Amino acid sequence: MTTFDLVIQNGTLLTMDPENRVIENGSLCVSGDTISHLGDHPPQSHDALKTIDAKGGLILPGLINGHTHAAMSLFKGLADDLPLMEWLNHYIFPVEKNMDADFIYTGTQLACAEMILSGTTCFCDMYLFEDQVAHAAFQSGLRCMVGEVLYDFPSPNYGDLESGFAYTEWLIDKWKDNPLVSIAVEPHALFTCEPELLKRANQMALSHGTPLIIHFAETLAELEEVKKRYGRTPLEHLEELGLAGPHLIMDHAVHLSSSEIDRIAEHGIRVIHNPESNMKLGSGIAPVPQMIARGVTVGIGTDGSASNNNLDLFTEMDMAAKLHKVETMDPTVMDALTVLKMATIEGARALGLSHETGSLETGKKADIIIVDTNKPHLTPMYNPFSHLVYAARGQDVSHTIINGRLVMENRQLLTLDLEEIMARAMEKSLDVKKWVSNP
């Protein structure tokens, strides 16, 4: 008789697999960190160390947040509705100047709590003190890809750029055998990184076989700045420096010409779309339907909580679906299934993690969420994909399982002490207020 570590039953399985199989009244079995069986019933003779009753809800792959600055959860609501430069100069920069490792650790724990509570099982982070981010995420049980931000100016974490490259090498080595943590090389943006920095970061990513991740074509001001400095568009600049390739992940990719979309597809570059942040900062609307139509792999992310101001991928999906419909005046673009894919299997592909996560398939890691649909706003249910994108919210997730480990059960976090984290976050917010008022 087979003994599974975990069996989930009595729910509709949305596999997000290549056939997009939907299995009503399905069962899913986990052995160790891996999905070992799924179908319309469990194997005939089996035992389970733990059984979860999905109570008629939806069982789907955990959501993947393709672009975050997790620790910025400590800044949410600090400053909104401001011109970009005022927001940066009077709020974000004075705070970032003062941050330390403990600040980042606390902010990331806060973000991890919010992510697990809203059904995210994997995130991709770019910020400072990323060893702390990896540490906090690993403790929480989240899967993550992280990278230390590299730029032309001194960092409050590593100091000069040379130390930044050394720090990144150290991260890659330190976390190389960790089952949950991957490291990427992450230069900040074309207007904050000199060509030499970019080329060296690119070489480092290629030599280690890790992704190279960069903020790209987020604002019109960035386009102007790159044009002024180099006489090229951002994509031309990347191509010229030899960075354009399948190892590259672009965050934002808002301002692109039609031919540039074609070239992004040809290069095999992957894109993370951040609709709420792009909207809130007034940056623009990324041509996502066009990118998907031309075969670009596009995931979805929240960006940091300072420009969102939440990490709920359900509302991010809702916003993405609706934004592109009104932008194109076409209600058929970005249908619910397409958008849910961006937050699951396409998000996994965008991060290069689709061998282990993003869909429910035997042999993949068990990154699974259960959505409780026994609520008035999810009753009746004609189409589960529609409900997940247009009606559900993060708070409808009842269970979160990552790498086979149950990290939230009936909305109770099992890996994090929520009251203690919130108390520390409140303390850190007093520091933030001080730093902002005495910059």
**Rounded-to-5 percentages of helix, strand, coil across the chain:** 40, 25, 35
Nearer to its own copies, 266 or 330 (CB): 330
Q: How far is the CB of 275 from its own copies (least distance, A)?
A: 8
Q: How far is the CB of 111 from its own copies (least distance, A)?
A: 8
Provide the token pair at 271. Answer: 């894109």
The three-state secondary structure class of 251 is strand
Query: How far from chain centre, in Å, is Cα 159?
Result: 27
How far apart are alpha carbons 140 and 127 in whole angstroms? 18
According to DSSP, the residues that pair with 179 across neighbouring strands are: none
Q: How far is the CB of 138 from its own copies (least distance, A)?
A: 18
- Residue 243 has φ and ψ, to the nearest 5°, of -90, -15
Q: How far is the CB of 262 from its own copies (least distance, A)?
A: 25
Nearer to its own copies, 5 or 218 (CB): 218
Q: How far is the CB of 422 from its own copies (least distance, A)?
A: 5
Nearer to its own copies, 192 or 386 (CB): 386
According to DSSP, the residues that pair with 14 across neighbouring strands are: 22
Each as own residue / partner, the long-range contacts of residues 338-342 (CB below 8 Å, 24 or more positions apart, any chain) are 338/292, 339/300, 339/389, 340/14, 340/16, 340/60, 340/385, 340/388, 340/389, 341/16, 342/273, 342/298, 342/299, 342/300, 342/317
CA angle 5, 27, 347 (to 5 degrees): 85
CA-only gyration radius of the chain, Å? 21
- Residue 300 has φ and ψ, to the nearest 5°, of -135, 145
Provide the token pair at 349. Answer: 């592909």
Nearer to its own copies, 241 or 425 (CB): 425
Peptide bond into 83 cis (omega under 30): no
Supply the DSSP symbol for 42.
-
Nearer to its own copies, 264 or 339 (CB): 339
Nearer to its own copies, 206 or 381 (CB): 381
Beta strands in 173-325 (DSSP E): 181-183, 186-187, 212-216, 248-252, 270-273, 298-300
Nearer to its own copies, 35 or 336 (CB): 336
What residues have CB less than 8 Å from 329, skipping those under 6 apart? Answer: none
Q: How far is the CB of 310 from its own copies (least distance, A)?
A: 5
Nearer to its own copies, 103 or 175 (CB): 103
**Are 210 and 185 contacting, i.e. CB atoms less than 8 angstroms apart?**
yes
Provide the token pair at 121. Answer: 């099982």
Q: How far is the CB of 118 from its own copies (least distance, A)?
A: 8
Q: How far is the CB of 70 from its own copies (least distance, A)?
A: 12
Nearer to its own copies, 208 or 322 (CB): 322
Q: How far is the CB of 337 from its own copies (least distance, A)?
A: 9
The three-state secondary structure class of 30 is strand
Q: Of 24, 141, 122, 31, which Cα lies nearest the Cα of 358? A: 122
According to DSSP, the residues that pair with 303 across neighbouring strands are: none
Nearer to its own copies, 113 or 300 (CB): 113
Q: How far is the CB of 374 from its own copies (least distance, A)?
A: 7
